[in-house]
Structure 1
Amino acid sequence: MNNIDFDKRHIWHPYTSAVNPLPCYEVTGAAGTEIHLATGEKLVDGMSSWWAAIHGYNHPALNAAAHQQIDKFSHVMFGGLTHEPAIDVCQQLLAMAPAGLERVFLADSGSVSVEVALKMALQYWACQGRPDKHKIVTPRNGYHGDTFAAMSVCDPVNGMHSLFSNMLAPQLFAPAPQTQFGQTFSEDDILPLEELFDSHHHELAALIIEPIVQGAGGMRIYHPEYLRRCRQLCDQYDVLLICDEIATGFGRTGKLFGCEHAQISPDIMCVGKALTGGYMTLAATMCTEDVALGVCQGEPGVFMHGPTYMGNPLACSVAAASLNIIAQNNWQKQVEAIEAQLKATLPDCLSLAAVKDVRVLGAIGVVETHHSVDVARLQRHFVKAGVWIRPFNKLVYIMPPYIITPDALTRLTDAIYDALS
């Protein structure tokens, strides 16, 4: 049995069937913006491995950080011990983060960082003598992860988790913001959320939201004023604001963090994905001093969460090197150039009968079709065209590594146009 046959028979891949799995392509290497297949193709990566590999593959600085750390020690428990890689990455995170965030809880994945954020919010209010504030409010079309608390704040209808609805904590959902980025903000957007706050603020612990871009819930890019109003409502009604920057953080939207478009700071913020430049899994939940101290008032006096691989030194070393690259600020010109080229080329797809909408922000390009696409067929087309793009539902989208060249980006956009013709 060859590798692909074994994989198809025995290995489960994300969001696919064990009965009729989507095709998989075996990778033997990756460098720069290219993924190398066992069958010889070299594919321009349009996905940054799900938003993460922003510096490209086999980056010398990230490779060096991994090699240097693994020669010292790859892991020690974080309970009662600390180390320089964790301290370095946390110092850099707080230096970059929006104003007011002063504490860092290191986690092993984006979903876990959301779990941590929600637990922080709930424990904060319980320790203030307000256990009645135990619900989370969020806009529809959101996506925050696949673990149980994270699933409870994903869109209950259009999300991927309706099968588990009877097991999930019931939360409150507002209609998704409708005013797109760049349009004139409509006051009608915020009214349903205002009504929810007015009616339920006594039981609301937190509002969780993806700043400016709702990712896996539909790749929707909304007006910054909506996020600004979210901050105002949280302040007015004494509710914590959680910004899920796992996908939007570290420059992807054209700002270092998505919430900067609205010039606001959250009480709690989740980051992940690009944190290590796509090398390995690491995430973080940051919070204000008020939240950190409030969580630890009264019983039990500690925050009850502790992943086995919390603060993994190998991941932290690579993350610190990745943040060093971001701190050089080359990403700004890179993302601006990607955005300009996407805005110049991707709207050509609007002339195609299959296409409903085109959206661009920063290093994100989205083509929405009228009907769900045939993923397997499109993937075959893309591989044949020498690109790696992973569509889902009605969306064919790209978020390439920041180091992509204009020629390579053209190959991506041309491939999308051709595939949807």
Structure 2
Amino acid sequence: MKTAPAPLAARSTQGSHITLTDGRSLVDGVAAWWTACHGYNHPHIRACAEDQLKRMPHVMFGGMVHEPALRLASRLSAMLPGDLERVFYTDSGSVAVEVAMKMAIQYRLNRGETNRTKLLSFRGGYHGDTLATMAICDPEEGMHHLFAGIMPSQYVVDLPRDNASTSAFEAFLNEHAHEITAIVVEPLVQGAGGMLFHDPAVLRRLRDAADRHGLLLILDEIFTGFGRTGTMFACEQADIVPDIITLSKALTGGTVALAATVARRHVYEAFLSDNPEHALMHGPTFMANPFACACANASLDLFETEPRLEQIAQINLLLREQLEPCRTLPGVKDVRVLGAIGVVEMEKIADPAALRTRFIEEGVWIRPFRNIVYLTPAFTITPDELSALTGAIHRVLSQGF
């Protein structure tokens, strides 16, 4: 609060634009932290939201159920691969991951495997800001390193990307698998850790290792789910099925908070028991909020009726074409694109706040972090709007940032 520049005051949003209270309009390059996949204020989502708001904005989900939640769970289980069919609702991505962790640990406890309670995650990973999720993020992650030694200790290793890291990963599992319940990974893209990409072969390697060592595989698709990497879910590109998957962000099309942790049948069955203590005792107050579920159902309608994956493919082509010239600019280390994600990696960004200010002056909303400038636009963005974003990046970075 003492050092950060004053935040901008937003007045309204529409499509890929944010209008400020001073009248300026910015093209949004990050889609409200990757959530507004259909653009802001899509009329179908708004109509469904208004209808649900009139009928029942909320009711407790303890001992009650309602149609929006049931329909959404059925639709998610139908569109996810394999037998990912048991849906647990929460109200944020971090909590969805917390529930996945809790589920994986209690899965062992319910089976009497009381020594297998550790989680294994990867450097460069990011899974949320709540206390348990911080423990599976990269230990050097800028927001969390102050808590090192305070949080519950988990295992964090290098992703098995190549022969050397794969050998180290296998050696680690040979020594520690008997303590571990699950592997947790962001598939294809480690988002907040720096938009770090990896090949689908890495996910197949993790699935194989999990099967050989009797581990659960948890995929954190909070960022990657719902089309961001070019397929509805990133795991499709590796042709694998995780044991647990977490979803949020674009789930409601950026309208309101909602998250889901979805488990395969064999995980669910470990909680079925005559002993009430074997139940998953977790109950967020606003879990399965009907208003949020209605918005999520409306978002899924749009994926079914509008050409989102084709739009993503077109965004991918334009990002590749328009960001590639940045590769020759001073200080640029790499340019990479996957699905509707475009990244210009710098050697360093000395003053991110000043860089953000320059982008605002160019009429775009882009928020660099660490050493990267990235775009994750709405899938409905127009070619001209996308060109405004990529052109601003090239112009600003060519000035020496």
TM-score normalised by length of structure 1:
0.92
1:161 to 2:139 alignment: no
**Offset, 1:188:** 2.7
| Residues 296-305 or 323-332, more deviating | 296-305
**Offset, 1:383:** 1.4
1:365-397: CA deviation from partner (whole Å, max 9, x where unpaired): 011111124222122211121111011110110
Identity among equivalent positions (%) equals: 47
Q: Give the Cα separation in 1 of the matches to 2:47 and 2:166.
A: 48
**Contact 2:159/2:166, CA 8 A, preserved across alignment:** no
1:37 to 2:20 alignment: yes
- Residue of structure 2 equivalent to 1:246: 222
1:229 to 2:205 alignment: yes
1:245-289: CA deviation from partner (whole Å, max 9, x where unpaired): 000000000011111111100000000000000001000000011
Secondary structure, in 3 states, of the residue corresponding to 1:66? helix
Give the alignment of 1:49-198 within 5 angstroms: 49-178=32-161, 186-198=162-174
Q: Give the Cα separation in 2 of the matches to 1:319 and 1:337.
A: 24
**Contact 1:127/1:299, CA 8 A, preserved across alignment:** no
Give the alignment of 1:329-340 within 5 angstroms: 330-340=307-317
**Offset, 1:176:** 3.3
1:280-304: CA deviation from partner (whole Å, max 9, x where unpaired): 1000000011101113445612101
1:45-67: CA deviation from partner (whole Å, max 9, x where unpaired): 10010110000011100100110
Q: Give the Cα separation in 1 of the matches to 2:131 and 2:321.
A: 41
Q: Which amino acid aligns with 1:404?
A: I
| Residues 401-410 or 160-169, more deviating | 160-169
**Contact 2:124/2:138, CA 8 A, preserved across alignment:** yes
Question: Of residues 23, 28, 48 in structure 1, which corresponds to 2:31?
Answer: 48
- Residue of structure 1 equivalent to 2:248: 272
- Residue of structure 1 equivalent to 2:288: 311
5+ residue gaps, structure 1: 1-17, 179-185
**Offset, 1:21:** 2.2
Q: Give the Cα separation in 2 of the matches to 1:140 and 1:203.
A: 19
1:286 to 2:262 alignment: yes
1:257 to 2:240 alignment: no
Give the alignment of 1:397-416 within 5 angstroms: 397-416=374-393
- Residue of structure 1 equivalent to 2:335: 358
**Offset, 1:416:** 0.7
Secondary structure, in 3 states, of the residue corresponding to 1:28? strand
Secondary structure, in 3 states, of the residue corresponding to 1:167? coil
| Residues 235-244 or 373-382, more deviating | 373-382
**Contact 2:18/2:25, CA 8 A, preserved across alignment:** yes
Q: 1:22 to 1:286 in 2, by over 3 A?
A: same
**Offset, 1:173:** 1.6
Q: Give the Cα separation in 2 of the matches to 1:32 and 1:141.
A: 32
**Contact 2:77/2:83, CA 8 A, preserved across alignment:** no
Q: Which runs of 4+ in 1 moved over 6 A?
A: none
Q: Which amino acid aligns with 2:126?
A: Y
Q: Which amino acid aligns with 1:54?
A: C
- Residue of structure 2 equivalent to 1:218: 194
- Residue of structure 2 equivalent to 1:343: 320
1:28 to 2:4 alignment: no
Q: Give the Cα separation in 2 of the matches to 1:281 and 1:22.
A: 27
Q: Which amino acid aligns with 1:91?
A: S
Q: Give the Cα separation in 2 of the matches to 1:23 and 1:195.
A: 49
**Offset, 1:193:** 1.6
**Offset, 1:327:** 2.2
Aligned residues: 397
**Contact 1:268/1:285, CA 8 A, preserved across alignment:** yes
Q: Give the Cα separation in 1 of the matches to 2:317 and 2:72.
A: 32
TM-score normalised by length of structure 2:
0.97
Secondary structure, in 3 states, of the residue corresponding to 1:190? helix
- Residue of structure 1 equivalent to 2:397: 420
1:81-130: CA deviation from partner (whole Å, max 9, x where unpaired): 11111112111111111111010000000000000000000000011110
**Offset, 1:36:** 0.4
5+ residue gaps, structure 2: none
Q: Which amino acid aligns with 2:292?
A: A
Cα RMSD of the aligned pairs, angstroms, is 1.2
Question: Of residues 344, 352, 364 in structure 2, which corresponds to 1:387?
Answer: 364
Q: Give the Cα separation in 1 of the matches to 2:81 and 2:297.
A: 18
**Contact 1:373/1:391, CA 8 A, preserved across alignment:** no
- Residue of structure 1 equivalent to 2:353: 376
Q: Give the Cα separation in 2 of the matches to 1:218 and 1:300.
A: 40
